[in-house]
A and B are shown apart, each in its own frame.
Chain A
Amino acid sequence: MLKDITLGQYFPGNSILHRLDPRVKIVLTVLYIVALFLAKSMLSFVFILCVTVLLVLLSRINLRVILKGMKPILFIMVFTMILNLFFTRGEGEPLVHVAFVRIYREGITTAVYMLVRIVCLLAGTSILLTYTTSPITLTDGIEQLLAPLSVLHVPVHEFAMMMTIALRFIPTLIEETDKIMSAQKARGADFTSGSLLHRVRALIPILIPLFVSAFRRADELAIAMECRCYRGGAGRTRMNRLHMHIRDYGALVCMVLFGAGIVVLNIYTSRIGYGL
């Protein structure tokens, strides 16, 4: 049940995407998102879809896993599609006109574009980042990318450490929640029936033990870190330092080309009059 959530989970592997430098991957993800929102025409959306499929293939992650990760936002997808379908006003005659419902050609295309955008956004970012990058390397990357900010007294290291710890404890807390839920069910707790108020109340026996154990874990972790002489970021060296390889530069160049490609396709289609 709770364990089935895969959004934001790392799948160990050895594909080219797994081996890219985390800093590069973060930059790639940002570029990818910008490119997604630059796309305006049918051709550019087709192009994006192709590149995203390529990313899926490159990551060698089971397609089923990726689709399962999208399940939680299925509702949002459908909702956005419906809104766009019915509320986009276009020029010319509506395709369907029943009572107050008017569907225009533009409505259909916008709805499809939005769907492609959301699917690609989720698939692309999770493949580039969360599925192929272990949380630890990810925060390493973030820390180094933000390192210049420490000149402005931004506590970058502390921020990164907090991220690492938070990420590290998500699965632990999920497991813990599962366990506490089972334990309370064994005492006759019922989380699925009754009025809303009743169901909210039924959560108290889960939330309190969960908070107590989260604080206990935090306490224990703090002591364990102090025992190993952790004093924050100043003067701390690293065992694994990040190095840029040719493949990292190559990936950056590819992504810039990708963004440029979309812009070019946008301009091209608007010239020949296909821009929708």
Chain B
Amino acid sequence: MSTKLEVKNVSYEYSPNTPFAASALTDVSCAFEAGMITGLIGHTGSGKSTLVQMLNGLLRPVSGQILLDGRDIWENPKQLSRVRYRVGLVFQYPEYQLFEETVSADIAYGPKNMGLDGAEIDARVREAAEFVGLEADLLDKSPFELSGGQKRRVAIAGILAMRPEVLVLDEPAAGLDPIGRETIFDAVRAYQQAREATVIIVSHSMEDMAKYAERLVVMSESRVILAGTPDEIFRRADLLCSIGLDVPQITRTMMRLSELGLPCRTDIFTIEAAKEEILRLWGKERENA
């Protein structure tokens, strides 16, 4: 396991030297492993979105460093756009950034800025559309004719077409229905596996994180307070609850069952695992009876 992107003692403050000054990040350090999906969770206002904008150099840390493959991204500020092609950032509600006449032109905006030639751009647009499951006949439509979920996928494809080594998504599934959520997360996972990309997902949904994330970073009040595998994190239910977060619903159910006296495991975060555990208990009960 190697570290792809590292945040080292980073601090940030909004509107410094005004009555509205507010600290957004305080001495934050964390590492994102290459080729893994890392979930970034935290209550509203915990600094997640600020941290995310640091990762591709949209915000400059007041102090500290962001290291991409071991090199400070601010080492040469003129090369920042190159960093932004390598670290693709999908904002919250990215469908509001669409502007081109056709879907394919909008997806091509990033690659065009990279200075690629026509054939390469075309290939990338097709590939990105495929990742997010956009049908070919949608490519010539205006992005403003599409449904909300489709627009979201176009916007994500716009980032994927840059073929970033690190893909960062801020609440990619916010406001979508369950099928829409699944489509998005599956697209992200398909991209991660095909390109061996490092993925960072900001999310409020513990269920989604339990299902997709391989590692989790927990933020509270502009600090990173926990980092580890979902297993390690969701064991700390008390701590999570105390900072306004939660464990997945299914974990809650298992914890309640155990409180009620059933000898079941509580380190269960997905429905599949819960099903197995309950069947196991059920089997045991039957034997006893």
Determine the chain B residues whose CB is within 8 A of the CB of A183 once the complex forms.
91, 94, 96-97
Interface assignment of B261: CB less than 8 Å from any CB of chain A: no
What does the 1/0 interface line of A28-70 toward B look like (CB < 8 Å)? 0000000000000000000000000000000000100100100
Query: Do B19 and A186 touch (CB < 8 A)?
Result: no
Choose the segment among A101-109, A146-154, A208-216, A241-249 that binds chain B (4+ C-beta atoms closer than 8 Å): A208-216
Please tell me which stretch of B108-116, B199-207, B278-286 contacts chain A, meaning at least 4 of its Cβ atoms lie within 8 angstroms of it.
B108-116
A186, B81: Cβ atoms closer than 8 Å: no
Q: How many A-B residue pairs have CB under 8 A?
A: 63
Chain A residues near B85: list those with CB within 8 A.
Answer: 188
Asked if residues A62 and B19 are in contact (CB atoms below 8 Å), the reply is yes
B66 close to A (CB within 8 Å): no
Find out whether the CB atom of B98 lies under 8 angstroms from the CB atom of A209: yes
Across the interface, which residues of A come within 8 angstroms of B114, CB to CB? 188
Q: Is the CB of A188 within 8 A of B113?
A: yes
Interface residues of B in 58-115 (CB under 8 A from A): 58, 81, 84-85, 88-91, 94, 96-99, 109-110, 113-114
Residues 195 to 210 of chain A near chain B (Cβ within 8 Å): 204-205, 208-209
Which positions 1-45 of chain B face chain A at CB distance < 8 Å?
Answer: 15, 18-19
The answer to whether the Cβ of A112 comes within 8 Å of any Cβ in the partner chain is no
Instruction: Check: A180 CB closer than 8 A to any chain B CB.
Output: yes
Q: B144 contacts the other chain (Cβ, under 8 Å)?
A: yes
Determine if B96 and A186 form an interchain contact, defined as CB atoms under 8 angstroms apart. Answer: no
A209 touches B81 (CB 8 A): no
Say whether B113 contacts A187, CB under 8 Å. yes
A183 to B85, CA, bound (A): 13
Is B162 on the interface with A (CB-CB < 8 A)? yes
Is A3 in contact with chain B by the CB < 8 A criterion?
A: yes
Bound Cα distance from A190 to B110, whole angstroms: 11
Task: Tell me, yes or no, whether A4 is within 8 Å of chain B by CB.
Answer: yes
Number of interface residues of B (CB under 8 A): 26
Number of interface residues of A (CB under 8 A): 24
Q: What's the dominant secondary structure at chain A's contact region?
A: helix
Kindly name the residue among B53, B90, B91, B162 whose own CB sees the greatest number of chain A CB atoms within 10 A: B91
Taking a contact as CB atoms under 8 Å apart, the answer to whether A189 and B19 are in contact is no
Q: How far is the CB of A217 from chain B (nearest CB, A)?
A: 11
Interface residues of A in 149-201 (CB under 8 A from B): 176, 179-180, 182-190
Which residues from chain A contact B110 at a C-beta distance below 8 Å? 187-188
Q: Which residues of A contact B158 (CB under 8 A)?
A: 187
Among B18, B84, B98, B99, the residue within 8 A (CB) of A186 is: B84
**Shortest Cβ distance from residue A200 to the other chain B in the assembled complex, whole angstroms:** 15
Distance between Cα atoms of A186 and B109 in the complex (Å): 11
The answer to whether B19 touches A184 (Cβ under 8 A) is no
Q: Using Cβ atoms and an 8 Å threshold, which residues of chain B touch A213?
A: 96
Chain A residue nearest in CB terms to B80: A185
Q: Is the CB of A187 within 8 A of B58?
A: no
Q: Which residues of B contact A4 (CB under 8 A)?
A: 15, 18
Complex Cα–Cα for A208 and B144 (A): 11
Question: Most chain-A Cβ atoms within 10 A of its Cβ — which of B94, B113, B114, B162?
Answer: B113
B56 in the interface, Cβ–Cβ < 8 Å?
yes
Q: A186-B91, A188-B114 are in contact. Are A209 and B99 (CB under 8 A)?
A: yes
8 A–B contacts from the bound complex (CB under 8 Å): A182-B91, A186-B89, A187-B97, A187-B110, A187-B159, A187-B162, A212-B144, A213-B96
